[in-house]
Structure 1
Amino acid sequence: MSASAAPAGWPAGVGRAILDEAPSTMAEAAARAGDAPGPLWIMARRQTAGRGRRGRAWADPPGNLAATLLMPAPEPERAALMSFVAALALFDACADVTGRPEAFALKWPNDVLLHGRKLAGILLETVAPAHLAIGIGVNLRHAPEPATLEPGAVAPVSLAEGLGAEMPPDAFLTPLARAFDARSRSFATYGFAPIRTAWLDRAARLGETVTARMGTHEVTGRFETLDDHGRLILATPAGRQAIAAAEIFLAGGEAHAARG
Structure 2
Amino acid sequence: MLNQILNILSDGQFHSGEELGERLGVSRAAVWKHLKKLDDLEIPYSSVKGKGYRLQDAIELLHEDQIRTALSQRLDILDLLLDVDSTNTYLFKRAGDHMGKRYAVLAEKQVAGRGRRGRQWVSPFGKNIYLSLLASFSGGISSLEGLSLMTAIAVERALVRLGIEGAGLKWPNDVYAGGKKLAGILLEVTGEYSSHCQVVIGIGLNLSLSEEDARDIEQPWAELRSLKPDLSRNEVAGILLDELLQAVDSFQKEGFAPWQQYWSERDIFHHKEVRIIGGHHERLGVVKGVNRKGELLLQTERGMETINAGEISVRPAG
TM-score higher than 0.5: yes
Corresponding residue SS for 1:172 = helix
The CA RMSD over aligned residues, in Å, is: 2.3
Q: Show the counterpart of 2:14.
A: none
Mapping for residues 218-237 of structure 1, pairs under 5 Å: 218-237=282-301
Q: Distance in 1 between matches of 2:257 and 2:64?
A: 38
Among 163, 187, 199, which residue is 1:132 paired with? 199
Among 183, 186, 199, which residue is 2:250 paired with? 186
Report whether the alignment pairs 1:80 with 2:145.
yes
Q: Show the counterpart of 1:250.
A: 316
Corresponding residue SS for 2:159 = helix
- Bigger radius of gyration, 1 or 2? 2
Report whether the alignment pairs 1:202 with 2:275.
no
Mapping for residues 15-30 of structure 1, pairs under 5 Å: 15-30=77-92
Q: Show the counterpart of 1:53.
A: 116
Q: Distance in 2 between matches of 1:71 and 1:190?
A: 16
Q: Which amino acid aligns with 2:268?
A: A
Q: Distance in 2 between matches of 1:11 and 1:36?
A: 21
* Range 47-56 or range 74-83, more displaced: 74-83
Residues 167/22 of structure 1: CA separation in 2 closer, same or farther (3 Å cut)? farther
Corresponding residue SS for 1:249 = strand
Residues 96/12 of structure 1: CA separation in 2 closer, same or farther (3 Å cut)? closer
Report whether the alignment pairs 1:92 with 2:121.
no
Q: Which amino acid aligns with 1:22?
A: V
Q: Which amino acid aligns with 1:190?
A: E
Q: Please say if residues 11 and 177 of structure 1, whose CA atoms lie closer than 8 Å, have aligned partners that are also in contact.
A: no
TM-score by length of 1: 0.86
Q: Please say if residues 235 and 241 of structure 1, whose CA atoms lie closer than 8 Å, have aligned partners that are also in contact.
A: yes
Please report how far the alpha carbon of residue 3 of structure 1 lies from its aligned counterpart in structure 2 after TM superposition: 8.6
Q: Show the counterpart of 2:50.
A: none
Q: Distance in 1 between matches of 2:270 and 2:286?
A: 8
Q: Distance in 1 between matches of 2:161 and 2:64?
A: 24
Q: Distance in 2 between matches of 1:4 and 1:135?
A: 18
Q: Which runs of 5+ in 1 are unaligned?
A: 253-260
Report whether the alignment pairs 1:8 with 2:69.
yes
Q: Show the counterpart of 1:255.
A: none
Q: Distance in 2 between matches of 1:147 and 1:192?
A: 34
State the aligned residue count.
245
Q: Distance in 2 between matches of 1:31 and 1:147?
A: 28
Residues 145/19 of structure 1: CA separation in 2 closer, same or farther (3 Å cut)? closer
Please report how far the alpha carbon of residue 247 of structure 1 lies from its aligned counterpart in structure 2 after TM superposition: 0.8
Q: Which amino acid aligns with 1:8?
A: T
Q: Please say if residues 164 and 228 of structure 2, whose CA atoms lie closer than 8 Å, have aligned partners that are also in contact.
A: no
Q: Distance in 2 between matches of 1:166 and 1:218?
A: 43
Q: Please say if residues 212 and 248 of structure 1, whose CA atoms lie closer than 8 Å, have aligned partners that are also in contact.
A: yes
Corresponding residue SS for 1:91 = helix
Q: Which amino acid aligns with 2:293?
A: H
Q: Show the counterpart of 1:257.
A: none
Please report how far the alpha carbon of residue 166 of structure 1 lies from its aligned counterpart in structure 2 after TM superposition: 4.2
Q: Which amino acid aligns with 2:294?
A: G
Among 120, 134, 140, which residue is 1:70 paired with? 134
Q: Distance in 1 between matches of 2:248 and 2:134?
A: 13
Among 94, 111, 118, which residue is 2:174 paired with? 111
Q: Distance in 2 between matches of 1:166 and 1:216?
A: 45
Q: Show the counterpart of 2:37.
A: none
Q: Distance in 2 between matches of 1:100 and 1:159?
A: 8
Q: Which amino acid aligns with 2:248?
A: S
Q: Show the counterpart of 2:225.
A: 160
Q: Distance in 2 between matches of 1:4 and 1:230?
A: 33
Please report how far the alpha carbon of residue 147 of structure 1 lies from its aligned counterpart in structure 2 after TM superposition: 6.6
Q: Distance in 1 between matches of 2:133 and 2:98?
A: 11
Q: Distance in 1 between matches of 2:63 and 2:204?
A: 23
Q: Please say if residues 141 and 166 of structure 1, whose CA atoms lie closer than 8 Å, have aligned partners that are also in contact.
A: no
Residues 4/114 of structure 1: CA separation in 2 closer, same or farther (3 Å cut)? closer
